[in-house]
Structure formats: structure tokens, C-alpha cells
A and B are shown apart, each in its own frame.
Chain A
Amino acid sequence: DAGVIQSPRHEVTEMGQEVTLRCKPISGHNSLFWYRQTMMRGLELLIYFNNNVPIDDSGMPEDRFSAKMPNASFSTLKIQPSEPRDSAVYFCASSRGGPKFFGPGTRLTVL
């Protein structure tokens, strides 16, 4: 079975540009989570959805970040405008009433 799929795997952009990260959860999973990992702060939950509805977005850093889940098989995390301090690895994870399965992550570098 395919795991959580994320794209792109790497993204390099310039400050001020819009960045869109994509995630396809495991089929049948009804919860989806976006995490950010940095050396300084470790793994932080940004937002999570249950049945496509955002449940908790208290971890979203600021208004420059937005996330959507238009259907059960797709979610996006958008940063607009991007800043150098947004550089991190962004993980998507999904679950179905149990432990989470993580995707391989998107490594974002904002110059």
C-alpha cells in the first residue's frame, strides 16, 4: 500500500514568493496533520483536519500560512509570502483513529 505522499520533496524559493506544499494521505484515513520540523523547535504541529474539516490550527505561525483539505485525498499547505525563517522540513501525517503515519516530508529553503 502507498504511504502518505508529499510533493515536492525539495523546494527552494526566494523570500516573498508563494509556496504550496501538497499531501495525499493514506486511503481510508480520515485525519490529516501538518507538522514542521526545525533544529531549534523540533517537531511542531501546525494544523490538523478531521474528515476534511480543520479542527485545530493553533499551531499555524501567522496569517502567511494557510491550509486546505478540499477532499479526503488531498491537502495543501500554503505560505504567502515566504520568509527565510520558514525554512524547515514540513511533514504531512494521516491516521484513522489511531497512530499517525508520516510522509517523507518536503524540505523548504527560503533564500
Chain B
Amino acid sequence: GQQLNQSPQSMFIQEGEDVSMNCTSSSIFNTWLWYKQEPGEGPVLLIALYKAGELTSNGRLTAQFGITRKDSFLNISASIPSDVGIYFCAGPANAGGTSYGKLTFGQGTILTVHP
């Protein structure tokens, strides 16, 4: 199956700062997904990327599908306290697969925002 490496593992930032995290895979992906998980809840889909080079925004969040198809980036601008949570990247568990079946998840980036 695909392996995902997500970094950094954790971030402690001040409110208002921008945040950047990334995910790399051991092989080519057709889809990249970014999820956020808040304490006591399940992951919630933030952004889905389906094409190499694609840049997609969702409010203050922007994600990019790397040109090599082996990486993806998530940026959060002007962070606020409610951005706190664990951010996961995810992609198809099998090479050439879609996001509709098995997903493999990165280890997650724990984000803490100080007011």
C-alpha cells in the first residue's frame, strides 16, 4: 500500500500567523485529500484535489496537488483559535486508485493556536 509522510508532526503558533504543512507519498497519487479532526470528533473533509498542479481554496485554507503527484501542501492564512485540531492528508491506498475506496492517512499535524 501507499505510504504517506506528513510534516510537521505538531505546530504551536500565535493567532494571526500563517501555517503551512505538507505530505509526501512513496508513489504517485491520483487524489489528495485534506481532513481536519477536532477533539472528540471524526475527521472532516476540508479540501479534495484531483489533478496535478491543482490549487484549491476553502476560505482561509489553500491546498495544492504537487506537480510530481507525490506531494501536497496545505496552508492556513491568518490562523484563529478555532483552527486548533489535527490535520490529516489522505490518498488512495492502492497505486492508481481513487478516493472512493480505501484511503491511507498521514500521521497528522497537531496544530495549536495561542490567542
A→B interface (CB under 8 Å): 4, 31, 42-43, 45, 48, 55-56, 91, 93, 95, 97-105
B→A interface (CB under 8 Å): 33, 35, 40-45, 48, 88, 93, 99-108
* From A4, A43, A103, residue with most partner B Cβ within 10 Å: A43
A99 to B43, CA, bound (A): 12
- Pick the contact of A4 from B42, B99, B106 — CB < 8 Å? B42
A77 to B104, CA, bound (A): 20
Q: Which residues of B contact A43 (CB under 8 A)?
A: 43, 88, 105
Closest to B88 in A: A43
Min CB distance B24 to A, Å, is: 16
Q: Which residues of A contact B45 (CB under 8 A)?
A: 99-101
